[in-house]
Amino acid sequence: MSAEAALRPLSAHRSPALKGRVRVPGDKSISHRSLMFGALAIGRTTITGLLEGGDIMSTAAAMRAFGANIHRGDDGTWTVDGVGVGGLLEPAGVIDFGNAGTGVRLCMGLAAAQPIAVTFTGDGSLIKRPMGRVLDPLRKMGVDVIARSGDRLPLTMRGAMTPIPIEYTVPVPSAQVKSAVLLAGLGTPGVTTVIEPVFTRDHTERMLAGFGAAIDIETAANGARTIRLEGRPDLKPQTITVPGDPSSAAFPIVAALIVPGSDVTVEGILMNPSRIGLIDTLLEMGADITIENARETGGEKIADLRVKHSALKGVTVPPERAPLMIDEYPVLAAAAAVAEGKTVMLGIEEMRVKESDRIAAVAAGLAANGVDHEEGRDWLSVTGGKVAGGGRVVTHLDHRIAMTFLVLGLVADAPVTVDDAGVIATSFPEFEPLMRGAGALFEDAEADAA
């Protein structure tokens, strides 16, 4: 997966009203965890609605390399025959996670509490991303690592022969770091404790409890959460229905809000409170979003969202909301580009270590398309108005940068071109047909002159 395919440029043109009912693919965070936890259970886990994007296929390949038997039925149902906690095999080859930061970081946790050697690598984006945030606590638990300088991929780790339970306060608001330590704790005798000062997505905690792990969560008055996990449980296989990914739904939602006359319903979206900061922000901006058919499945709230074109107003998004919408700031910038006034996004430094430096990539894309903005180390502001468009956006192997600027192009005076729509398949392979089906005008564009 690391050999990058040829770039596939795509342009978005000013489009007529978007209409219809759409269904986005399964949640990426829950999909990764379904395969991983299924691989650690004893018996057969069944998954429907799994995201079949590049990132998740990397995790499926990794879990097979660790000995799990994973199968996709003709009806799209996946089964995972797990090996049990402590039962992972040493992979015979290098584990290539492609573009998937969540995949590789959680997998490092999985492999940490067994005496096996594993070599991880990834694509041109993933090998630039920091792995020290996960490796630091894993080293405390007894893991040995040989990595490129700065703890970058490729790296080889040898899991601990006698893993040590730790109490770890997560220094950055990151569900990946929290999850890696908890997953290492699964294979560690005794109680592993993770303290997160700031609430981040809680799928690991919820799903481990569902798989039968003994996990206890205490929330302090200041919001800090102390998570205690009893090591070496027997995980029981589950039947999982993966809800629609709110981070993918964000693109048709913002598109419907900004394209005049639109009326789109996005069905079956995960409404977990740790994931819907964007919806709160858009409502504050004056968005016409109605929550319909709210229901619950597998312990998670889901709903359909009916979204109509709205006259948006700029707002200030407070820093404490960042963990609840960290992947949605790029597309919020597209909404802000047409809102009346200024939208200020504060406390977003984590955006700099995603699939690309997203503050820089968004700012460059806005600049190329005539949108007024300012950028700081940990903030971005966008002043709305007419979008000139006509710019070419460098996606830096980042799916969300590609989708953001294709959405912006739907309201721009001149088409907006992204240099590679191929990267979208990591999280949302159906993006193009789904958006075209609702009325979006996309057109293949000329490749850059070499």
Q: Which amino acids are annotated catalytic? A: 327
Window 342-381: contact mask with ligand S3P (x via CB under 6 A): --------x-------------------------------
Of 118-126, 169-177, 251-259, 386-394, the window that binds ligand S3P (rule: CB under 6 A) is 169-177
Contact residue for ligand S3P among 85, 175, 315, 371 (CB under 6 A): 175
Window 415-444: contact mask with ligand S3P (x via CB under 6 A): ------------------------------
Of 118-126, 174-182, 235-243, 292-300, the window that binds ligand S3P (rule: CB under 6 A) is 174-182
300 interacts with ligand S3P by CB under 6 A: no
Pairing of the two strands 239-241 and 44-48: parallel
Q: Is 93 annotated as a binding residue?
A: no
**Long-range contacts at 375-381 (CB < 8 A, ≥ 24 apart):** 377/349, 378/346, 378/347, 378/348, 378/349, 379/344, 379/345, 379/346, 379/347, 379/348, 380/329, 380/333, 380/344, 380/345, 380/348, 381/342, 381/343, 381/344, 381/345
CB atoms within 10 A of CB 71: 12
Q: For the CB of residue 202, give the shortest distance to ligand S3P in the complex, in Å.
A: 10
179 interacts with ligand S3P by CB under 6 A: yes
For 19, residues 6+ apart whose C-beta sits below 8 A from its C-beta are: 262, 263, 264, 438, 439
Q: 74-113: which residues touch ligand S3P (CB under 6 A)? A: 102
Q: Residue 10: beta bridge partners?
A: 418, 444
Q: Is 152 annotated as a binding residue?
A: no
CA–CA separation, 303 and 319 (whole Å)? 26
Q: Is 114 annotated as a binding residue?
A: no
Q: Give the closest residue to 180 by CA, choosing from 353, 26, 32.
A: 32
Using DSSP's 3-state secondary structure scheme, residue 323 falls into helix
Look at the block and give the residue holding tokens 């630091």.
136
Q: Which two tokens stand for residue 374?
A: 């300012």
Look at the block and give the residue holding tokens 């000139």.
388
265 interacts with ligand S3P by CB under 6 A: no
Q: Is 174 annotated as a binding residue?
A: yes
Q: 7-36: which residues touch ligand S3P (CB under 6 A)? A: 29
Q: Which amino acid is at 426?
A: T
Q: Is 101 annotated as a binding residue?
A: yes
Cα–Cα distances in angstroms (integers) from residue 238 to residues 62, 79, 82, 333, 366, in the given order: 20, 10, 11, 38, 44
Window 186-225: contact mask with ligand S3P (x via CB under 6 A): ---------------x------------------------
Query: Is the CB of 112 or the CB of 411 nearer to ligand S3P?
Result: 112
Of 13-21, 56-64, 171-179, 261-269, the window that binds ligand S3P (rule: CB under 6 A) is 171-179
Q: Is 400 annotated as a binding residue?
A: yes
Contact residue for ligand S3P among 300, 327, 419, 420 (CB under 6 A): 327
Q: Assess contact for 51 and 78: CB atoms under 8 A.
A: no
Query: Is the CB of 116 or the CB of 353 nearer to ligand S3P?
Result: 353
Q: 38-77: which residues touch ligand S3P (CB under 6 A)? A: none
Query: Is the CB of 350 or the CB of 420 nearer to ligand S3P?
Result: 350
Of 45-53, 175-183, 248-256, 282-290, the window that binds ligand S3P (rule: CB under 6 A) is 175-183
174 interacts with ligand S3P by CB under 6 A: yes
Name the closest residue to ligand S3P (Cβ): 29
CA–CA separation, 392 and 204 (whole Å)? 38
Q: For the CB of residue 175, give the shortest distance to ligand S3P in the complex, in Å.
A: 4
Look at the block and give the residue holding tokens 């200020």.
344
Start-end of H helices in 27-173:
28-40, 54-65, 101-111, 132-140
Contact residue for ligand S3P among 326, 332, 380, 434 (CB under 6 A): 326
Question: Per-residue DSSP letters for 326-339?
Answer: GGGHHHHHHHHTTS
Size of the site for ligand S3P (CB under 6 A): 10
Burial class (CB in 10 A: 0-12, 13-18, 19+), 162: exposed
Burial class (CB in 10 A: 0-12, 13-18, 19+), 272: buried
Burial class (CB in 10 A: 0-12, 13-18, 19+), 347: middle
Q: Which amino acid is at 103?
A: G
Q: Is 129 annotated as a binding residue?
A: yes
Q: For the CB of residue 117, give the shortest distance to ligand S3P in the complex, in Å.
A: 25
Site of interaction with ligand S3P (CB under 6 A): 29, 102, 174-176, 179, 201, 326-327, 350
What residues are designated binding site for 3-phosphoshikimate?
Answer: 28-29, 33, 174, 176, 327, 354
State the binding site for phosphoenolpyruvate: 28, 101, 129, 176, 358, 400
Q: Which residue ranges are tagged as binding site?
A: 28-29, 33, 101, 129, 174, 176, 327, 354, 358, 400
